[in-house]
Structures are given as structure tokens and as C-alpha cells.
Amino acid sequence: MKTSAPFSRRKGFMLMEVVLALFIFTIVATSFTKALSSLWRNTSFVKEELVITQIMDSALQETLYLNQLEEGSQEIYVPERDVNLETQIIPLELENEEGNPLSQMWEVRVIARFVRDGQNQERSVRGWRYLPIFRP
């Protein structure tokens, strides 16, 4: 003859298993959601950095391949990314191995200024060009 006591204990034990399983599932789901959120935030940051780098590289290449360079500075605003670009052309006074001055050696700097997360940011790239080498 069976008694009902073991059956009621078994019901309570199953309820405890379900509560424990829900607790574990909640912890795993929360951790997974936080990991995805962090991954999304990092991906967005890297994507923005890449876009700004491409804009700066494009401005640098455009300036380096001009037929004639003149000392000075020029500012450009890129409204799509809310970035200010400053392109500086600076003459360099260098000498070759024989000691002869390289009179048409130029440094081109591109400085990007923008706001990210409420803070002012600044990135820069630079390149050199010796005009007589690149003349057609």
C-alpha cells in the first residue's frame, strides 16, 4: 500500500528544480545580453574610427598628389560625420646624402577634430612629398 507523503515531497522537489532552472536561465540570458551589448558598442566604435581614418587618408592622398603644393593651411567640414579637417602644407628643409638642399620637399598633415561621447577628439596623419619625383 502506497502513502501520499512521498508524492507530495516529489511535487515540491520538482517545483524547486523549475525555480533553480529559471534562475540559471536568467543569469545566462542576462550575461549573454550584456555581452552582445558590449560587442555592439565596440563594433560601433571601431566602425566610426575606420570611417574617420578613411576620410583623413583620402584628404591626405588628395593633397599629396596635387601638381603644385603651396605652404598654408585649409579647413574642410564634413557634415555627414561632423568632422573638421585641417590640411597643413609645410615646406621641409632637408639635404640629400651629398649635402644638397631638397628645395621642394613638403610635409602634408591632416588633422581631424570631432566630438565623441561628449569629448573633443583629435586624430592626425602626415605624409611627405618630393615634387620633382612625381612630375609627369
pLDDT in tens, the chain (136 residues): 555 555 555 556 788 888 999 999 999 999 999 999 999 999 998 998 999 999 999 999 999 888 888 999 999 999 988 999 999 999 998 888 888 888 888 999 999 999 988 999 999 999 998 877 765 5
CA distance 56 to 38: 27
CA 38-40-44 angle, 5° bins: 120
User: What is the total count of domains within the chain?
Assistant: 1
Under 8 Å CB-to-CB from 76, ≥6 apart: which residues?
59, 84, 85, 86, 87
Q: How many CB atoms lie within 10 A of CB 110?
A: 25
Q: Can you give the residue range of the structural domain that contains 41? A: 5-134
Element housing 128 (H / E): strand 119-130
What is the pTM for the complete model shown? 0.69
